[in-house]
A and B are shown apart, each in its own frame.
Chain A
């Protein structure tokens, strides 16, 4: 097997071109999957015998919550790479991920509240699952605030990397909170160890939506990282030779 030189692809110049070719594909896939997931979830899936039609909120709630956790772990991953290898791309990837992560964390709380009101009778309770997800949302906001407050990009990337890595401890806490504590929030809808507790068609709509959000995130992060590359490399010759910046 040929050895791949990852550092070559991590060079901002190479990655700019690569990301430019890749993001439209992810965007198209995300759109198609979203349409399929919504159709299956809203036109085909049957009514839940306990929660009526209200349960359909989970088709956005569960995927948004998953993504809010996955994105934070991805930020921690890039931060570890950045601190160990000192690659310029790592800090940009972490920064490109943060707004989408914050958005999904907010949507998780928002749709959760809209589900909680009719099902539990409360928009919000200080339950371990909800509280740890709220902390995750604040961690995203903290990351964004801190990195945009420091002008020097190297220092700001390092400071951000610390928040991303330390805050990652919260992600398993969110995930296992329904097991560790006696929460009002229900247990996992899908687990790796036992058969899912949902009807198959509901499960498929949820998985399609999760995959759609995943591709949406990849497309948007690749798109956003290109903007960051142009900003940070604006004095490099290769940037001035790009067709899209020719006056």
Chain B
């Protein structure tokens, strides 16, 4: 380990804004992308489930 303390690590030799601005935004956007993909997948599955549920209803209930 090449850092003497956590504060030294976070300070990044004066480049904190630039280094953590890069790493932070990258981590955030990757997380958002993963979340968005899961959300889209769940949405499609729920739609398909709803369609199935309607298709299985007895005919009289649809009248």
Q: Note whether A and B form a binding pair.
A: yes
Interface residues of A (CB under 8 A from B): 42-47, 52-54, 56-57, 60-61, 64, 99-100, 103, 106-107, 110-111, 114-115, 117-118, 216, 220, 223-224, 226-227, 230-231, 234, 239-240, 244-247
A110-B25 in contact (CB<8A): yes
In the bound complex, CA of A52 to CA of B16 (Å): 11
For A106, what are the chain B residues with a Cβ–Cβ distance below 8 Å? Answer: 29
Contact with A along B18-43 (1 / 0, CB 8 A): 11011101100110011001101100
B19-A227 in contact (CB<8A): no
A57-B45 in contact (CB<8A): no
For A111, what are the chain B residues with a Cβ–Cβ distance below 8 Å? Answer: 22, 25-26
B48 to chain A, nearest CB (A): 4
For A226, what are the chain B residues with a Cβ–Cβ distance below 8 Å? Answer: 41
Is the contact region of chain A dominated by helix, strand, or loop, or is it mixed?
Answer: helix
For B2, what are the chain A residues with a Cβ–Cβ distance below 8 Å? Answer: 43-47
For B21, what are the chain A residues with a Cβ–Cβ distance below 8 Å? Answer: 114
Number of chain B residues close to chain A: CB under 8 A: 34
A-B contact pairs, 16 of them (CB 8 A): A47-B2, A47-B13, A52-B13, A53-B12, A60-B22, A64-B26, A100-B33, A111-B22, A114-B17, A115-B18, A224-B40, A226-B41, A230-B41, A244-B45, A246-B52, A247-B50
Interface residues of B (CB under 8 A from A): 1-3, 9, 12-15, 17-19, 21-23, 25-26, 29-30, 33-34, 37-38, 40-41, 44-45, 47-53, 56
Q: Which 6 residue pairs are nearest across A and B when measured between Cβ atoms?
A: A53-B13, A54-B15, A247-B53, A245-B48, A111-B22, A53-B12
For B51, what are the chain A residues with a Cβ–Cβ distance below 8 Å? Answer: 234
For A227, what are the chain B residues with a Cβ–Cβ distance below 8 Å? Answer: 37, 40-41, 44
In the complex, residue of chain B having the shortest beta-carbon distance to the beta carbon of A230: B44
For B19, what are the chain A residues with a Cβ–Cβ distance below 8 Å? Answer: 53-54, 56-57, 114
In the bound complex, CA of A60 to CA of B19 (Å): 10
A60-B45 in contact (CB<8A): no
For A46, what are the chain B residues with a Cβ–Cβ distance below 8 Å? Answer: 2
In the bound complex, CA of A172 to CA of B49 (Å): 46
A103-B33 in contact (CB<8A): yes
B12 to chain A, nearest CB (A): 4
For B14, what are the chain A residues with a Cβ–Cβ distance below 8 Å? Answer: 52-53
For B17, what are the chain A residues with a Cβ–Cβ distance below 8 Å? Answer: 114
A53-B40 in contact (CB<8A): no
For B44, what are the chain A residues with a Cβ–Cβ distance below 8 Å? Answer: 227, 230-231, 234
In the complex, residue of chain A having the shortest beta-carbon distance to the beta carbon of B56: A247
A56-B53 in contact (CB<8A): no
B12-A234 in contact (CB<8A): no
